[in-house]
Amino acid sequence: MPETRTYGRRRRQLPTTAPEQAPAAQVAKREAVSGRVVSTGAGGPTQMAGWDAMDKAAAASGSDMYLKVTEDATVIKIPGDGPFDVYNSHWIEEIEDGSKSVRCWATPDCPLCQIGDKPKRFSACFDVISMADPATPALKVWEAGIKIARQLKDIATDTKRGPLNRADLYFTIKKETKKKSVEYTLERVKERDLYEEYDVEPLTDDALEAFVAECHQWGDKVKETLDEDAMGEVVDLLMES
């Protein structure tokens, strides 16, 4: 039977073929807490799941993998020295079923760029340890916008303030809504001031080491790129609107 993919009001019948079964040694397993996909055997593939699969994994584990920034300052620790994924995305309002955000191919032949739809959002993805609940710190994925990403880069490349994963360095992040815009405030916090200012105990070396082991590597993707067929459907949807 053909597969039906739906974008908004449009339906297209796409022929499908059964995928080849991967050898048992190369089957990948998704980690429910971190969202990372690791190979279960030597030489197995390592890939990131798409948004939908990651959300399902999070729901199944009772956890949310994405950092929620609120009006209250949240203490975070950045275990890596930079973002593991950086991308621009298109916003397709016409998509009615599924994510309206579509990752740009970041190449001259991106179908959406070719029809004049320019990417509208920048994302730099960091692993962070959220200490919103100090008793149960949790590894999250933080999608930072361009302003915060540049602040983090300035800190990371400053010999006196960086790197981001310096042992005694923590951060707080909060947001403030002003009329129709949202502003984010990032502040550095020294480990020695953590308890006095935020009632948060610093992470132990063992706890930090365990979180570091779960971190993504540069090149891992939190949002998969659509293939040619799927991107073609999005382009057709825009052209028909």
Q: Summarize pLDDT for 122-154 with one digit per residue, the tens.
A: 999 999 999 999 999 999 999 999 999 999 999
Domain boundaries, the chain: 25-64, 66-240
- Nearest residue to 34 (alpha-carbon basis) of 143, 139, 142: 139
Q: Summarize pLDDT for 212-238 with one digit per residue, the tens.
A: 999 999 999 988 899 999 999 999 989
- Nearest residue to 74 (alpha-carbon basis) of 3, 138, 26, 10: 138
Q: What angle do CA 208, 219, 232 make, to 5 degrees?
A: 135
% of the chain with per-residue pLDDT over 70: 73
CA 79/CA 113 separation, integer angstroms: 35
pLDDT, residue 52, reads: 53
In this structure, what token pair is assigned to residue 239? 């052209």
Q: In the chain, which residues have pLDDT < 70? A: 1-63, 241
Strand intervals (E) in the chain: 3-7, 10-14, 28-30, 37-39, 74-77, 85-91, 101-103, 121-130, 138-144, 169-178, 181-190
